[in-house]
Amino acid sequence: MAIVKWEPYNELSTVQDRLNHLFSDSFRSFFDDEQGRLSQDWIPAVDIYEDTDGIKLHIELPGMEMKEISVNLENNVLKVNGEKRLVNDDKKENYRRLERVSGRFVRSFSVPNTVDQGKVNAAYKNGVLTLDLPKREETKPKNLTIKIQ
């Protein structure tokens, strides 16, 4: 039998991670409108990439159609929302297992002032919504060669 060194801080870290996960799942939904209705049932995964030309967002929305997705940009806030329905309208009690997510979702992102809001593009292909937020020309870094005298 091997002797294992006991690390009490590792156990506390594990407990803290479990509690954080519990609370983040419990309070993940938020209120969207003035009436206080629950605005989302799930949160789609998002990848955000930024380079010198702009910002790209890739949002996973599998099984959805473009008409079910809404994208708005107002007051430097990009808001993506929609509703994913179950493929079958069968009664839920007839399912033995139901793992695919469905329901309403809302994702909001702060957009920096460097983005040219008039040139934002959106494309939807293979269950991934790609948003391209190009930077304004005057905010892009410039490479100037300075002549030494």
pLDDT digits (tens, 9 = 90+) for 89-109: 566 677 778 788 888 999 999
Spatial CA neighbour of 28 closest among 110, 106, 127: 106
The ranges assigned to domains in the chain are 38-87+101-140
- What pLDDT is stored for residue 21 in this prediction? 63
What is the rounded average pLDDT of the residues 127-140? Answer: 89
Residue 21 CA: distances (Å) to CA of 107, 113, 114: 20, 33, 34
Rounded Cα–Cα distance for residues 122 and 130 (Å): 6
- The fraction of the chain above a pLDDT of 70, given in percent, is 71
Q: Which fold has domain 38-87+101-140?
A: Immunoglobulin-like (2.60.40)
Q: Which residue has the higher pLDDT, 120 or 98?
A: 120
- Confidence category of residue 35, pLDDT binned at 50, 70, 90: very low
Q: Residue 48 has what pLDDT?
A: 96
Residues 133 and 114: beta-carbon distance below 8 Å: no
Q: Which residue pairs from 65-73 have beta carbons closer than 8 angstroms and sit at least 24 positions apart in sequence? A: 66/124, 69/124, 69/129, 71/122, 71/129, 71/131, 73/111, 73/117, 73/120
**pTM, to two decimals:** 0.66
Mean pLDDT of the 40-66 span:
91
